[in-house]
Amino acid sequence: MQTEEISRQVREFIEENFLFQEEAELADDESLLDAGLVDSTGILELVAFLEGTLNIQVADAEIVPENLDSINAIVAYVTGKLAAAPAAAAVAA
Amino acid sequence: MRVERFLTDSAARLADKTAIVAGKKRLSYAELDRMSDRLAAAISNRGIARGDRVVVFMDNSWEAVVAIFAVLKAGAVFSPINPSTKADKLAFVLNNCRAAGVITQARLAATAATAMVEAPSVKLVVLSGGGKAPPATGCLSFEDAIAEPSSASLPFAGISLDLAMLIYTSGSTGFPKGVMMTHQNAMAAAESITTYLENREDDVILGVLPISFDYGLYQVLMAARVGATLVLERSFAFPQVILNRMAEEKVTGLPLVPTMAAILLQMRDLKAGSLPHLRYITNTAAALPPAHIERLQALFPSARIYSMYGLTECKRCTYLPPEELLRRPGSVGIAIPGTEVYVVDDSGHRVGAGIVGELVVRGPHVMRGYWENPEATDKALKPGPLPWEKVLYTGDHFRADEDGFLYFIGRKDDIIKTRGEKVAPKEVETVLYGLPGVAEAAVVGVADPILGHAIKAVVALSPGADLTEQDIIRHCARSLEDFMVPKLVEFRDELPKTESGKISRRLIEEEMLEAAE
């Protein structure tokens, strides 16, 4: 899957599930935590989405802000995971 | 003795000991004491007087801890408010207690500003993280205030009978009420709890629960009382980060709610015995299923697990001594030290073992009432056995076993507990009715393995209205704290009603139960 497509799907998921102020714009590098958009159950939903829809396995130790706290971070993390597991990527694409 | 003495006494004894760890910041007791002295002087010089209410609208942060002790040292009353509170509700609270001051942070400044437009009583704002921007009139920079050495001594702060805090709690009417706790109340509660938890100076306590919640707030107060170290975290969103922090800091005490426990138990890579320094785990706000207790104990074999029960109106009521846990995993135990609890029938008479009734609490920890709300106060506080005392009617149904151990049966009112937080269906319904197109609305709780209960909105739309689940949820998120926003939405042509034509949540709940069978 191309990075642009990953980015689109991630942004769409976040906007639909976490972004409630219609006027608000979420920048690609903006912290979801700092913007008050996610809490503990929100991150769980995000992980479930990444595993279910983007077909990667998220280890406990990978559920950290560096990987998941902004759209950019999520896209980079997912891209990295898919590159490391080409067979899974072929199934997902 | 007043609550700020916890800090000043610990600072005198343990000046260089780490009081707070917050991310990369470490504050010693002496530093915490000095900063709160300075902030107290700064707000006092700018008009905060004895007895004034000051709202603390902040994330869990070292700045919030400084703020709380500063307000107390200035002789004022602090009211911690959940940082996900939206402007309308914040305005309600500010007006309800006629707050004189607000202490907040840059991330929340816009919400605070919007709320303050409707709250003329607020004459001082203290802003942390506001950067180099010139402060607006009536706005004091937190950073400037704690850097300003105070030469003059503070005015007389008050005595232990004075109010220390107002903790706002949701009620079934839909409007939050300010629980009034004096210094005496807080001292008594803190002493009792630190006694049964056996808190010591060498404890390292995790503070991830919001300080706007009395359970989270008291971690701050109790740590200061015994001279322990408090590790503050803003959110449990990234559990691995918290676990790593707990290992690094050798955390000894983990206060949690069932949602946090469920998240921990869902982790796939968590090994048993990974936190050997963990001495105790506490749970309250909702029941920990016995299966979760068992699994939690297996993960943390070195920790004693305390099941507890309480309400904001008295801070905490009961605890189960850990040695009883295997024998009675469903019990929340016995009255906390120095207090008494008993179960009564509808006439207020004590009932015997096995009989379900309402739990009543007496003790020095019981609130003084709800701020400027005599009607609600009279429903909760009733005359006790002694002529001068009031006892607290909890509104919760309990029964005691033959040995006197208590079991929570259910609430008397409609309050839903989700993530350990109280949600009044009426409050959410009021917000739903504010959305054009919603003709009828009812909010109920649906059992959820992680949340305890999830909030579900059942809605009937006006003819021609075209709203989606997303529209409903978005609308709620604009006015309500995150945990109050419905997770589930169901649309119907019309909602079930009682014979008198009132929408009945009970009928909806019964239908859901039948459907599940």
Q: What ipTM score was computed for the predicted complex, to two decimals?
A: 0.87
- Confirm whether B87 is domain-assigned: yes
Question: What is the pLDDT at residue B99?
Answer: 98
Q: Beta strand B406-411 with B390-400: parallel, antiparallel or unpaired?
A: antiparallel
Is there a contact between A41 and B478 if contact means CB atoms under 8 Å apart?
Answer: no
Q: What residues of chain A lie within 8 A of the CB of B485, using their CB?
A: 20
Residue pair B478/A21 in contact by the 8 Å Cβ criterion? yes
A20: closest chain B residue by CA: B474
**A46 lies within 8 A of chain B by CB:** no
- Confirm whether B221 is domain-assigned: no
Q: Are residues B455 and B382 in the same domain?
A: no
- Confirm whether B227 is domain-assigned: no
Sign of the torsion angle spanned by Cα atoms B495, B417, B411, B185: negative
Question: What is the pLDDT at residue B512?
Answer: 85
- Domain extent, residue B268, equals 236-411
Domain final residue pick, B378, B411, B444: B411
Quickly tell me which residue has 């470490």 as its tokens. B26
Question: What is the pLDDT at residue B25?
Answer: 97
Is there a contact between B239 and A36 if contact means CB atoms under 8 Å apart?
Answer: no
Kindly indicate the confidence band of residue B459, based on its pLDDT and cuts at 50, 70 and 90. Answer: very high
pLDDT tens-digit readout, B380-389:
999 999 999 9
Question: What is the pLDDT at residue B130?
Answer: 84
Record the tokens describing residue B441, joined without a space: 């609305």
Domain final residue pick, B358, B389, B411: B411
Is there a contact between A63 and B238 if contact means CB atoms under 8 Å apart?
Answer: yes
Residue pair B318/B310 in contact by the 8 Å Cβ criterion? yes
**Between the ranges A16-20, A59-63, B500-504, where is the mean pLDDT highest?**
A59-63
Q: Are residues B261 and B339 in the same domain?
A: yes
Kindly indicate the confidence band of residue B500, based on its pLDDT and cuts at 50, 70 and 90. Answer: confident
Q: What residues of chain A lie within 8 A of the CB of B236, using their CB?
A: 39-40
What b/e readout covers B130-140, taking b as 16+ CB neighbours within 10 angstroms? beeeeeeeebb
Q: Are residues B145 and B96 in the same domain?
A: yes
What's the mean pLDDT in A25-39? 86
Mean of per-residue pLDDT scores for chain B: 94
Residue A21 confidence (pLDDT) above 70: no
Residue A89 confidence (pLDDT) above 70: no
| Range with the poorest average pLDDT among B164-168, B196-200, B450-454 | B450-454
Question: What is the pLDDT at residue A86?
Answer: 62
Q: What residues of chain B lie within 8 A of the CB of A65, using their CB?
A: 238, 241
One-letter amino acid at A91 equals V
What CATH number is associated with residue B401? 3.40.50.12780
Sign of the torsion angle spanned by Cα atoms B446, B447, B450, B452: positive
d(CA B262, CA B242): 15
| Range with the poorest average pLDDT among B6-10, B134-138, B321-325 | B134-138
Residue pair B101/B123 in contact by the 8 Å Cβ criterion? yes
d(CA B221, CA B11): 13
What's the mean pLDDT in B475-494? 93
Residue A76 confidence (pLDDT) above 60: yes
Question: What is the pLDDT at residue B133?
Answer: 57
Write down the pTM of the prediction. 0.90
Count of the separate structural domains present in chain B = 3
Radius of gyration of chain A (CA): 13
B residues 35-74 closer than 8 Å to A (CB): none
- Confirm whether B109 is domain-assigned: yes
Identify the CATH number of the domain defined by range A3-92.
1.10.1200.10
- Confirm whether B231 is domain-assigned: no
CB pairs under 8 A between A and B: 62
Residue B135 confidence (pLDDT) above 70: no
What's the mean pLDDT in A70-74? 94
**B482 lies within 8 A of chain A by CB:** yes
Q: Are residues B290 and B350 in the same domain?
A: yes
Residue B134 confidence (pLDDT) above 70: no
Check residues B173 and B23 and name the one with the higher pLDDT. B23
What CATH number is associated with residue B125? 3.40.50.980
Domain final residue pick, B384, B411, B438: B411
Question: What is the pLDDT at residue B243?
Answer: 96
- Confirm whether B134 is domain-assigned: yes
d(CA B76, CA B41): 12
Residue pair B308/B282 in contact by the 8 Å Cβ criterion? yes
Record the tokens describing residue A80, joined without a space: 């990295």
Question: What is the pLDDT at residue B303?
Answer: 97
Domain ranges of chain A: 3-92
Q: Are residues B274 and B383 in the same domain?
A: yes
**A48 lies within 8 A of chain B by CB:** no
What CATH number is associated with residue B481? 3.30.300.30
